[in-house]
Amino acid sequence: MVKQYTTAFGKKLIRVILLVIAVSVVAFTLMTCSPVDPLQANVGQAALGSMSQEQIEKLQEYWGQGQPPVARYLAWAKDFIRGDMGVSLLYRQSVSSVIAVKLVNSLFLMITAWLLSGLIGFFLGSVAGMNRGKLIDKCIKGYCLVISSTPTFWLALLLLMIFGVWLKILPIGLSVPIGVEASGVTFLDRLQHAILPAATLSILGVSNIALHTREKMIDICESDYVLFAKARGEGSWQIFWHHGFRNVLLPAITLQFAAISEIFGGSVLVEQVFSYPGLGQAAVSAGLGSDMPLLMAITIISALFVFGGNLIANILYGIVDPRIRRGGVR
Amino acid sequence: MKKKIISLLCVCSLAVSLLMGCADSAGNTANEDQNQKSDQVGNENTAANAEKDSVVVTMPVTSEPEAGFDPAYGWGAGEHVHEPLIQSTLVTTTEDLKIENDLATDYSVSEDGLTWTVIIRDDVKFTDGEKLTAKDVAFTYNNCRDNSSVNDFSMLKEAVAKDDTTVEFQLTKPFSIWPYTMAIVGIVPEHAYSENYGQQPIGSGRYIMKQWDKGQQVIFEANPDYYGEAPKIKKVTVLFMEEDASLAAAQAGQADVSYTAALYSDLKLDGYSLTNYVSVDNRGINLPAAAADENEDGLTIGNDFTSDIQVRKAINIGIDREEMIQNVLNGYGTPAYSVCDKLPWYNSASEAAYDQEEAIKLLEDVGWKAGGDGIREKDGVRAAFTLMYPSSDSVRQALAEDVVNQLKELGIEVKTEGVGWDTAYDRAQSESLVWGWGAHTPMELYNIYHTDKDTGLAEYSPYTNESVDKYMDEALASNDLEASYELWQKAQWDGTIGVTQEGDIPWIWLCNIDHLYFVKDGLQIAEQKIHPHGHGWSIVNNVDQWSWE
Amino acid sequence: MQGTMTVPMKSRFAWNRRKTLLVWLIIALTFLLVVCIAGMYCGDAARATDFSQKNIAPCLAHPFGTDWLGRDMFVRTLRGLAISILIGVSAATFSALMAFLLGVAAATLGKTVDSIITWVIDLIMGVPHLLLLILICVAVGKGLRGVIIGVALTHWTSLARLIRGEVLQLRESQYIKIARKLGKSEWHIAFKHMVPHLLPQFIVGLILLFPHAILHESSITFLGFGLSSEQPAIGVILSESMKYLITGNWWLALFPGIMLVLTVAFFYIAGENLRKLIDPSSAHE
């Protein structure tokens, strides 16, 4: 059985690697097709205005124009595999150092939002499912509808307006307090600056998982064994804990891991509104400024996260549900 | 099954706390008692201000030198010129933009204008203790020539250190305004220069870079061994933030000097006053001065409507600049009639009074008659053109919209369009664009009006005039900077030919935007030179001379 | 007969859940149509500036207030919504057609085609949606074209998976197998049996794509990759309003946002209700 498990796992891993390579090829092709001239996008108008032709040619070489795309891709791939992610053209430092800082900021935000939205969504979905048709169910469904129709950035704007501008109880941006030296920044400060962005992301991530959990819960509540449990006189909390919880946990977890992609997309918007220096903001600047190495690295890392999440979800499926294990690995 | 879930949850929470721990340590861990410190940080800054020798200044996000504090990559000598606080320069510009010595004790130029010789002081040390010699100067300039990605050093052939205190600059062509370049290139130490110099710069200037939190702030401390006058302000914190965040910082009392824009000028902040600095940061529109044609790459050059010189003259006097400044800038601006108003090489003949009736007469006289919808036409050409503006700039957008409203009264239809810089340059060859210029060098006149020898027309908007070219070439070749000013003025208008209202008027200059700041009460900002294009570092050019009351 | 209990017949015109669904569907569609049509005629009014009317809070003359250039926000919002709806609908329709073709192709053209298409779907779903949109917009050059192509190329994946699953199931069903045994050609089977079965689900899926497309379009425009700023697209309006939040011009962000939420919500309601009407068994109330 262990052998079956490992071969299946191995196959999945190879698939992930192939997909990541494909992602990098696609991202690279898209960037090279871009008609945007990085010179005009990055060198300011007045500076370009005072340059000579030789200067312009030197700059073009720097920004990677004039070499055949395939050669550039292979060169980049070779370096990337060895761990050298290249040098960011915009920030003029190694991509790894740029990403290291921003990744930590983003992770802080995304993990908080991911956990919160998962927990709250699960809770809301279960409550709605168990109390189907009642007022609380209707409220939760209506709330989910409104939430999924709300654009992420608008909710971020609203929260910024209410808490940052009107009530002035939370900071309006950045990830550390103004003017403080790095050694003076505490965990509490970081937390304070991350509250609004994390809250936005969490609120929005709730609807998907809540609705699905609700569906599953309703299915379970209509099943025979729950009927039998009710007949036996089990209270609703006991029904939930003994029967509902475990059965609904699995789909919920799978869904939550699949939601990593959505959280990343949301974080791009939220970071823009709150000027939070994370990966999302870096991706937008890299996109607007045609910074190929940085954008490629961010794409690959996010793809890794998404695929990794799916892989973990698959593995968890096997762990949590003994039927799957015994029935052979899917 | 239960055990599995419990152990799973334990693992998850462990992982999460590990990651959070990493996040914390990556940001430099602090222990519990520093929680107190953070609460007092806001107070700490103001408390430090009570010691009266530190300031906190906000700047636009674009002011942050993303490539580092390296002159070769735009620090000081980039798109927005300013004094590089960390390094010293050979000369500096004075308040009225003449040249005065800094590191240099004397400089001279050869007869043919190709060799500049500079003698520097011998008592300057870098902040790591090493002496600053002519070798460092030569190294700096040669490095800029080879690697500068944002500035043009192609006129420099070679910089040679003749001895410890003499540097010779060999130029490829005569360049009378070389001192203006010398005023913005900070000298870097040859022995401490590497690719990472920009992250850990060592200089001999008034300030040392203490700490740089990328994307957020940079902290400077006064250089105790500075060879000149000791800086009055010992600590300067620069915060990079968007306009609205800058305003919030002022509202929270966390910034001493907070840059702002006209749209916030009506706000009243306790403890702050709105200060405006006159600038040469101008906005203008180009009107293609050639008839429409296609060049060999298929790009349209020229515009059949604006190529009519009467049309351009009418537009120049048909725009009420004062009203525009009132509408768009809330009064915080001055009318602009050239790209260099108030600079030593400005020709006051550029000024033209607003006269709507005269403008209409100019149009009617050559046959632009109003059609049924109020828009003029002549020989099948409609009095209409497109005015583009950079999408990211709301002030330019507002200016464009005001132009639309004003020109409608003349019977000219203007359509606005937001564009990105990737297409703007090409399209400006046949349509109008709202540009922003303004620098402490006459080179701008050259770049805007001089014919480019490859295309036969000026670079940014089609126009050509031999007489104007001649004056500018003479000015550059001159070896007396002061005398060359007169030649630059003649290029603008010499009595019969020029680029002003009486001349060809290929560019219409609208206004100079005042730079606005909220300044905390009690802070005395030293007298400012006229601010060039760019809202960022210009204000702290002389931060060493600021003081608190 | 005596002694029998008669159950009172419910009148044909009594109110039932089906009618509720229908009413909501009609309300939603009416709202959307009105916004679209009104917006189409607002083009010039939405761009007219008047500096004497700057920054006015909501009042009778300007129900949504005016912005810093004196433009009326109500008209601008209508126009912006109309633009967003049109872009969203056209891009999503294109996407849905792609989904249909690829889904059917995957299910019917054999194992290799199926694995290739599934692999491509995994590939596209592997990159976070917004990031992929950014990449495509950059590749095509920003602006209207970039947004439409980007949205069109990224929204077909889940619908394609759905259709593929449905077709696979269908192929195993009894009546299809019988039809095949009876000698009918593949085309005949496809058109006469599969398409009518798939069509309702397809239409519902199509309608449910619209709100997604609209949200993504406004997000991309908000970030700066989409339409240029003189067009009053909702993303543009909201990103510009960010600058003015601090001056207290709250109406610049609130009303356009609420209208956008309403629009998207109505699309969802329309799609869901249509699904429940067509396929009552999915009304998992």
pLDDT at res. B39: 35
CB of C285 less than 8 A from some CB of A = yes
Helix (H, G, I), strand (E, B) or coil at A21: helix
Contact: C222, A283; criterion CB under 8 Å: no
Give the residue with greater pLDDT, A136 vs B453: A136
* CA atoms of C219 and C238, how far apart (whole Å): 10
Percent of chain A with pLDDT over 90: 0
Residue A178 has pLDDT above 60, yes or no: no
| CA quadruple A278, A151, C218, B66: dihedral, nearest 10 | -10
pLDDT in tens, B100-131: 888 889 998 888 888 999 999 888 889 888 88
* CA atoms of C58 and C62, how far apart (whole Å): 6
CB of B11 less than 8 A from some CB of A = no
pLDDT band of B534, cuts 50, 70, 90? confident
Q: How far, rounded to the nearest angstrom, does the alpha carbon of residue A128 sit from its chain's CA centroid?
A: 26
Q: Could you give the count of Cα atoms lying within 13 Å of B297 in the half-sphere of its Cβ?
A: 5
The pLDDT of A271-299, averaged and rounded, is 82
pLDDT band of B21, cuts 50, 70, 90? very low
pLDDT band of B319, cuts 50, 70, 90? very high
- The DSSP string of B390-443 is ETT-HHHHHHHHHHHHHHHTTT-EEEEEEE-HHHHHHHTTTSEEEEEE--SSTH
The pLDDT of B311-325, averaged and rounded, is 92
The pLDDT of A283-311, averaged and rounded, is 83
- Ramachandran assignment for A36, one of left (phi > 0), alpha (psi -120 to 50 degrees), beta (any other): beta
CB of B387 less than 8 A from some CB of C = no
Contact: B418, C240; criterion CB under 8 Å: no
Residue B24 has pLDDT above 50, yes or no: no
Q: Which residues of C touch A265 (CB under 8 A)?
A: 128-131
Give the residue with greater pLDDT, B388 vs A273: B388
**Mean pLDDT, chain B, integer:** 83
In whole angstroms, how far apart are CA C222 and each of A268, A269, C138, C229, C234? 11, 8, 15, 10, 8
Q: Which two tokens stand for residue A143?
A: 């709330």
CB of B328 less than 8 A from some CB of C = yes
Give the number of other Cβ atoms within 10 Å of residue A49's Cβ.
Answer: 20
Measured in angstroms, the CA of C228 and the nearest CA of chain B are apart by: 5
CB of A33 less than 8 A from some CB of C = yes
Q: Please give the backbone phi and psi of residue B275, each rounded to the nearest 5 degrees, phi first.
A: -115, 140
Contact: A50, B73; criterion CB under 8 Å: no
pLDDT at res. B6: 63
Enumerate residues 74 to 133 of chain C having a beta carbon within 8 A of any beta carbon in chain B. none
User: Of the segments C31-45, C89-103, C141-155, which one has the largest average pLDDT value?
Assistant: C89-103
Residue C92 has pLDDT above 80, yes or no: yes
* CA atoms of B162 and B108, how far apart (whole Å): 15
pLDDT in tens, A223-248: 888 888 888 888 778 877 877 787 78
Tell me which residue has tokens 């191995």. Answer: A10
Contact: B26, A101; criterion CB under 8 Å: yes
Contact: A299, C218; criterion CB under 8 Å: no
pLDDT in tens, C270-282: 888 888 888 776 6
The subunits that touch chain A, with at least 3 C-beta pairs less than 8 Å apart, are B, C
Percent of chain B with pLDDT over 90: 18
The pLDDT of A119-138, averaged and rounded, is 87
**Mean pLDDT, chain A, integer:** 78
Q: Which residues of C touch B401 (CB under 8 A)?
A: 49, 69
Percent of chain B with pLDDT over 70: 90
pLDDT at res. A276: 80
* CA atoms of A254 and B368, how far apart (whole Å): 71
Q: Which residues of B touch A175 (CB under 8 A)?
A: 216
* CA atoms of B124 and A141, how far apart (whole Å): 73
* CA atoms of B14 and A47, how far apart (whole Å): 52
Residue B489 has pLDDT above 70, yes or no: yes
Measured in angstroms, the CA of A62 and the nearest CA of chain B are apart by: 9
Residue B23 has pLDDT above 50, yes or no: no
* Inter-residue contact B314 to B461 (CB < 8 Å): no
pLDDT in tens, C165-186: 888 888 888 888 888 888 877 7
pLDDT in tens, A61-92: 666 666 677 777 777 777 777 777 777 776 66
CB of C49 less than 8 A from some CB of B = yes
CA end-to-end span of chain B: 72
Residue A19: closest CA among chain C residues belongs to which residue? C123
Maximum distance among all Cα pairs of chain A, rounded to whole angstroms? 88
pLDDT at res. B4: 60
Contact: C268, A149; criterion CB under 8 Å: yes
Residue B25 has pLDDT above 60, yes or no: no
Tell me which residue has tokens 């356009």. Answer: C256
Cβ contacts of B525 within 8 Å, gap of 6 or more:
B257, B275, B519, B539, B546
Measured in angstroms, the CA of C141 and the nearest CA of chain B are apart by: 9
Residue B27 has pLDDT above 60, yes or no: no
Residue B322 has pLDDT above 90, yes or no: yes
Give the number of other Cβ atoms within 10 Å of residue B539's Cβ.
Answer: 23
CB of B419 less than 8 A from some CB of C = yes
Q: Which helix (H) or strand (E) holds A164?
A: none
Measured in angstroms, the CA of C103 and the nearest CA of chain B are apart by: 38
* CA atoms of A261 and A304, how far apart (whole Å): 11
* Inter-residue contact A282 to A99 (CB < 8 Å): yes
Residue B455 has pLDDT above 60, yes or no: yes
Least confident of A42-46, A321-325, B382-386, B463-467: A42-46
* CA atoms of C211 and C268, how far apart (whole Å): 7
pLDDT in tens, B117-171: 999 988 888 988 888 889 999 999 998 888 776 677 878 889 999 988 899 999 9
pTM listed for this prediction? 0.77
The pLDDT of B25-36, averaged and rounded, is 33
Nearest to B422 among A37, A187, A249 (CB): A37
Contact: B422, C247; criterion CB under 8 Å: no
* CA atoms of C50 and C62, how far apart (whole Å): 13
pLDDT in tens, B366-406: 888 888 888 898 888 888 999 999 877 888 888 999 999 99
Residue A55: closest CA among chain B residues belongs to which residue? B152
Helix (H, G, I), strand (E, B) or coil at B100: strand
pLDDT in tens, A9-48: 788 788 888 888 888 888 888 877 776 666 665 655 545 5
Residue B46 has pLDDT above 50, yes or no: no
